[in-house]
Structure 1
Amino acid sequence: MNEEITFILDSTKESMDGSIDHLLKSFAKIRAGKASPIMLSSVMVDYYGSSTPLAQVANINIPDARTITVQPWEKNMLQEIEKAIQIANLGFNPMNNGDFVIISVPPLTEERRRDLAKQAKAEAEDAKIGIRTARQEANKDIRNLDDASEDVKKNAEADVQELTNKYTKKIEDILVVKEAEIMKV
């Protein structure tokens, strides 16, 4: 019986960890003024007739905080990569110097920073919803245990709530750091 509750708590913790991981990946895609290879993760290049992620046809580097360089493994892919970056509508204007595609990352405006902060809050709220969903599932599983006493069920539900509070606090802490990063000029 105790094993069942331990299993429920472990799977709930795993689900909540998944929500945190998803949040961190989402935050990595939100631009905070500094250049990052993740900014180009959504770019798909037409590589000999098939749509291929940019990272699979080129080397992406960050020589400084405001520049991204893309060096294709095949020189004839330069125009395709340039076109794919423009089509992705990321707000970048790629330049081709014959060897590399160079992207100058423009500084964020105050309005754009606020929009990104709102986007970060929305992502954090989605993660909190994931945490609450995991809590509901765990509580439902605990209530459905046949061979557990009411006291054991109440204690297990209290443990689930403790986990929920811990992960919600973790999300809020991550959000505060990301908002500060976004709003920093």
Structure 2
Amino acid sequence: MNTQQILKDSEDRMEKALDVFRNDLRGLRTGRASPQMLDAIRVDNYGTMSPIRDVASVTCPDASSIVIKPYVAESLKEIEKAIRASDMGLAPNNDGKVIRLSIPAMSGDQRKKIVAQIKKSGEAAKVSCRNIRRDGNKHFDDAEKAKTMTEDDRDKGKAKMQDLLKAYEGKIDALSASKEKEVLEQ
């Protein structure tokens, strides 16, 4: 692998780590209703665990409620059971056709816990990016040992890899700060 290939592979992998972090942030409860809050919940759909979006329509008629309308009426009880089993602390209100979820306002303690969760998730994303950098640096070392790259090229590649890592850590920090601000302001 040459320098460009190693950097491209590492950048693609860091972008995937950033996408995972973005998806983690979407699923966090911020006091405002959002269909993405339910993305992590899986429902037993004829023996297969499926996301709620695959078995029902999820909408937010206002900022403090979510309405779930199953495509098949029989899955109503399974959706309700999955929501109750989740650690989101939501109480589903089943009227026989749809499930309504009221999103209560968050207390100061809940906000602090969510901010701590954001920081923990952000740090995990950074660690993932650092592991990708380590793998990329190993590729540079291996290429230099195999005499397909000079020492200077290896060192320049490692410097570019470090710059790439700093850029992605900055993106992760910016996403974290934005989400923390959103959680604390409401």
TM beyond 0.5: yes
Match of 1:153 in 2: 154
How far apart are residue 75 of structure 1 and its match?
A: 3.1
> Match for 1:180: what amino acid?
K
Identify if the C-alpha distance between structure 1 residues 93 and 14 changes in structure 2 by more than 3 Å, giving closer, same or farther: same
Amino acid at match of 1:176: A
Structure 1 unaligned spans of 5+: none
Residue 51 of structure 1 deviates from its aligned partner by 4.2
Alignment of 1:83-162 (within 5 A): 83-145=81-143, 146-162=147-163
Misfit runs of 4+, over 6 Å? none
The superposition leaves residues 134-173 of structure 1 with CA deviations (integer Å, 9 ceiling, x where unpaired) of: 1111111111112322211111111111111111111111
Aligned counterpart for 1:44 among listed residues 35, 42, 45: 42
1:60 to 49, 58, 74: 58
> Which residue is 1:179 aligned to?
180
* Alignment gaps of 5+ in structure 2: none
- Secondary structure of the residue aligned to 1:62 is strand
Q: Does 1:169 align with 2:167?
A: no
Aligned residues: 183
Paired letter, 2:178: V
Length-normalised TM-score, structure 2:
0.90
CA deviations over 1:20-44 (Å, ceiling 9, x no partner): 1111011111111111112222333
Range with bigger deviation, 92-101 or 168-177:
92-101
Deviations 1:45-98 (A, max 9, x none): 344555443222221111111100011223344334323321224211111233
TM-score where L is the length of structure 1: 0.90
